[in-house]
Structure formats: structure tokens, C-alpha cells
Amino acid sequence: MVEESGRDYYQSLSEMTAVLNSTRAPEDVLRSIVEGVARAMAAKGCSLLLLTPDRKNLLQTTNYGLGDQYIKKGPIFTDKMIAEVLAGRPTAVENVTKDNRVRNQEQAKKEGVVSLLSVPVMLRGEVLGMMVVYTAQPHHFSEDAIRFVSAVANLGAICLENARLYDSAKKDYDALRLEIAEWRASMPSLE
């Protein structure tokens, strides 16, 4: 079993906040975040799943290191595991082939997934989805690792919120410009 020791999560977090603070598109930033988490943890892959507006389903938003067939078959987690994460509790599985919270265990085995860590993606106390780290070897996730992934997941939530606010402000600005142009066009000419 892999034990974590001496990983520099601060360095990785610093690099990811620089990406978050960039002017790149939100999709690119989220992709960089999941890739950064996978690399920082020497993991097979990482994915970000977000709740649908009705909060009934999780949708794959972005991932790194996982095969298309694995992703397209949907989450391997049972409702029990999803409920734990959506209740705000990180959940670790050391062996996906022996944990009843994991369905499609054969699918996970084919993909080479042995352990996983799921953490909630939260913004202002509300769960928006979950970030999942997948390892290719049995893995015990330390408290430091769980805090690191949780911090990065929440940075992803901030990125999504900033993108939403930017789009809203841009729409308001464009509507105001149109209103001003229409108002000026309706004014009698002073000539």
C-alpha cells in the first residue's frame, strides 16, 4: 500500500492558484486543476463531477488520466458513497474491488483503478459536486492529502462562480450599452 510522505502540496497549491488567477477560460482552468491534483498526488487520474441544477445527477465536467470508455460508462460510485460526499464528507476507498460502496468494480479494475478519494466541491457551504482522485495502486490517503484535494476542489468552485459572475456582469454591461445606444438614437438631433 502506498503511504504519502513528503509531498509538497504547498508548491502544487501555489501553482494551481496561479492558474486560477490567470485569464484563461474556465474549462481550461478546471482541466489544469484536475491535472495538477493528479500530478501532485502521483495518481492515475482525477475528475470533477458537478451536480445538475435539479441536484439529482452528477455530470462529468472534466477529467485527467482516465480513458474515454471509463468516463462514458458513468460514475462507479453507489448512491451511498455519493450521499456521503454530497453531505460534505470526503470519502476514501482503499480497494475498489472490495468495497461495497463501489459498483462496476470490474470496470474500475479494467481501467486500472485500485483506490479513490472523493471530496465535495463546495462554495459558501453548498455542495456543487465532487472531485475524485484515482490511484493505480492501493493507497491510504493522509489527512494532508484530503485537505489538499478539498482545498483545490473549493478553488475549482470559486473558478466556476467567478466565471458565472463575469458572464452575468458582461451581459448586464452589454444590455446597458444597448439601452444607451437606443436612448441616444431616440433623442432629437440638436442640429
Q: How many helices and strands, by DSSP H and E, does the chain display? A: 6, 5
Better-predicted residue by pLDDT, 125 or 135: 135
3-class secondary-structure state, position 141? coil
What mean pLDDT comes out for the span 167-171?
64
Residue 56 and residue 41: Cα distance in Å, rounded? 30
pLDDT score at 6: 44
| Whether domain 9-159 has CATH 3.40.50.620 | no
Name the grid cell of 166.
463575469
Angle CA 124–119–168, to nearest 5: 40
Per-residue pLDDT at 167 exceeds 70: no
Band the pLDDT of 46: cuts 50, 70, 90: very high
* In the chain, where the domains are located: 9-159
Band the pLDDT of 84: cuts 50, 70, 90: confident
pTM of the predicted structure, to 2 decimals: 0.78
pLDDT score at 90: 93
